[in-house]
Chains A and B, each alone.
Chain A
Amino acid sequence: MTDEPRNPQADDLACREAVELMADFVEGALPAPEARRLERHLESCPGCSEYLEQVRALAGSLGGLPKHSLPAEMRDGLIAAFREFHRG
Chain B
Amino acid sequence: MSTNPAGRPGATARHDDERLVARLRRGDAEAFATLVDRHSSPMVRVARAYVPTQAAAEEVVQETWIAVMRGIDRFEGRAALKTWLFRILTNVAMRAGARERRSVPFSALAEAEDTGPSVDPDRFLPADHALFPGHWAIMPTRWPTPEEGLLAGETREVIAAAMAELPVAQRTVIGLRDVEGWSAEEVCAALEISAGNQRILLHRARSRVRSAIEAYYGAVEEIDYGAVTRELMGDTPEKETDSER
Residues of A within 8 A of B (CB): 5-9, 14-17, 19-20, 22-24, 26-27, 29, 45-48, 50-51, 54-55, 57-59, 61-65, 67-71, 74-75, 77-79, 81-83, 85-87
Contacts and interface: CB of A to CB of B under 8 A. Distances in A.
B132 A58 contact: no
Contacts of A78: 32, 36, 62, 65-66, 69
A47 B136 contact: yes
B140 interface: yes
A79 B33 contact: yes
A85 B69 contact: yes
Contacts of A59: 177-178, 206
B93 to A, nearest CB: 14
B16 interface: no
Interface stretch (B74-82, B84-92, B101-109, B179-187): B179-187
Nearest to B204: A23
A77 to B, nearest CB: 8
B41 interface: yes
Contacts of B45: 68
B234 A14 contact: no
Nearest to A82: B32
B52 interface: no
A15 B38 CA distance: 41
Closest 8 pairs (CB-CB, A-B): A14-B134, A86-B27, A23-B203, A62-B178, A47-B136, A67-B41, A16-B134, A68-B44
Contact of B179 (A19, A63, A77): A63
A58 B150 contact: yes
A63 B139 contact: no
Contacts of B117: 16, 19-20
A78 B179 CA distance: 25
B135 interface: yes
A82 B29 contact: yes
B95 to A, nearest CB: 19
A26 B203 contact: yes
Given A54-B210, A68-B41, A61 B150 contact: yes
A70 B62 contact: yes
A68 B172 CA distance: 13
Contact of A5 (B140, B214, B234): B234
Given A15-B124, A68-B40, A74 B206 contact: no
| A45, A51, A58, A79 — most chain B CB neighbours (10 Å) | A58
B231 to A, nearest CB: 7
Given A74-B58, A79-B32, A82-B29, A64 B149 contact: yes
Contact of A20 (B27, B33, B118, B213): B118
B149 A51 contact: no
B209 to A, nearest CB: 6
A8 B40 contact: no
B119 A79 contact: no
